[in-house]
Structure 1
Amino acid sequence: MKSFGERIADALIEDGVLQPAQFDEAMAQQKTQGGRLLKILLDRQYVTELDMMVSLGRTLGAAPINLARVKVPAEVADLVPRDLARNHQLLPIAKLGNLLYVAMADPLNVLALDDVKQITQLEVVPLIATENMVAEAISSLDTQNSQQLDQIIRDENVEIEISEDQPLEEVDVTATDAGAAPVIRVANLMFASCVKDKASDIHLECYEKSLKLRYRVDGALYDYPAPPKSMQGALISRLKIMAHLDISERRLPQDGRIRIRMAGRDIDFRMSFLPTKYGEKVVGRILDKSALGGTVADLGLSPEQHKIFTSALNEPQGMILVTGPTGSGKTRTLYTALAEVNQPQYNIITVED
């Protein structure tokens, strides 16, 4: 029985783009040196990726797609996290009803198809694209995201204020032109895009040769364009300065707070710095005070839950435990409860760790 690579090679020969002698040479190299047959054909420049894409599509009964000529809507591409898209070499390009059309370098990758279906809850229609096409399309989307982040800063009146048991100190970091300090500009972009996308957390992680920036939106982490590895030390030091922490301490965990004023809203970032093998991991938890208003009726509780909760709030003594995963609304629930019992006859004290 012929292998998958041999079947595609036969299709390439039938299409007249690969000579039988070239196929024999590639097979001989595979037997002596190992490796994937299709990669050997590409490395020897016997065929192009486009040739292979067309023949592969004909063999598998899947349509080829030239991503260079397709404008992928950001809202469709964002249906699949970037790290998963890169790992599986795929990119969603269109959505029609409950069908999601996905360009893939390997449309036979069942694990990739299952992952996309599970994440999106849509039926996946695989299309064939080359590895380079998929990589370039993802890179282009990341570039567009970066440009959009620049525009966010221009559109919004973003001011960074440093606050931690000290008088507020206003810092002029609103400049976003090419002449601004790059590390200041990147920090601004991180905070502004996080607020704009209604994220609950920022995660900046250090790897051996790169940084990874992710935001938690609706309980799930999503990849965002990350700053270069060369900026790691300066960026982390900048964040520590803003949080009134010791920039020279890199061996012990540190916690602090940064306050942002964006479009008239005061937003707190609770910052944590944790030493790791390749640098300090930074996690920022966002507390948007403007989103903490409302009443118990606005919490989305069922009638029975609402009755139990309000009854517990009216008890003269006792304890209410609020638990849940990140971004589930614990802080908002507590603030709402405090607002509910905040009456002139009561004296309220909060004890926080």
Structure 2
Amino acid sequence: MQKLGDIFIATGLITEADLEKAMKEKNTSLSIAEVLITLGLTTDKAVAEALSTHLNLPLVELGGFTVESEVLEKFTSKLANKYMVFPLENTGKTIKLAMANPLDFDAIQAVEFKFACSVSPVISSYASIRSIIERYYGLEEDIEEIIKDARYDQGPELLEETPDPSLNILKREGQSSPIVRIVNKILQKAVKMNASDIHIEPQEKDVRIRYRVDGIMNEVMQLPKQMLNGMVSRIKITASLDIAERRLPQDGSFKMLLEGRAYEIRVSTLPTKFGEKVVMRLLNASNPTVWLDEIGFLPSAM
């Protein structure tokens, strides 16, 4: 059976040294392709193109793709997110399946069992599949289900300060699939509620998530304390902050498309007694400038 790493070397996408470096960073929640992308050794698009060429499978861009509702009837957001796959067509006893990793036979078997038919895989990038999942499922995936997938350690928590996790561990936690999905859901929910700020606040035994809506702080959820480092690392990576620096405040920003609108998200981190606190300010970059005369001000008042 072919392996992703061997394919990437054969196509000239990476070197053996790159693969060795990625294998040292790999954990069970990420494929070798995702690790290579995370380390900056290749790109999402290049991975998809290499797999398409080597395996002689079609490369499909899902941006303008329309999927019939009956195709999605048996499919769930949990299945799509778990395996990074998405059903495109169901013809007779065959389902055309967009896959980021077409060598993931666990994914193929899960879909074949669910639909009682054979799978015809096509290649799509991770970003393309995440985008179409968000477009069709939105916030349907429940955060509780994502937490179950995270398989975090539920052992006793030490109250005294422990040594800083290594940079590699923080990177892995920040890029794990459940962590990425939870951070995305927190952002999406904030936009749905028209929140201006998101506060991620570590407490002694859990993590409190609060949104500022119309100037009022509202607690919207509590998450297990064990997820804090992963969430903070994910946000820091996205905002180009130093994930190894946990004792000093940091500021950064990133841009993201949420609910079809472009947002600039300003990030501030601050060390606290129970871990790093994160505040994110959501600025709708799609909003045009509104002039005073357009909101009812009389010329004499301007």
TM range (shorter): 0.3 to 0.5
- Greater relative contact order, per chain length (Cα 8 Å cut-off, separation 6+): 2
Rg larger in structure: 1
After TM superposition, the score normalised by the length of structure 2 is 0.42
What's the TM-score, normalizing by structure 1?
0.36
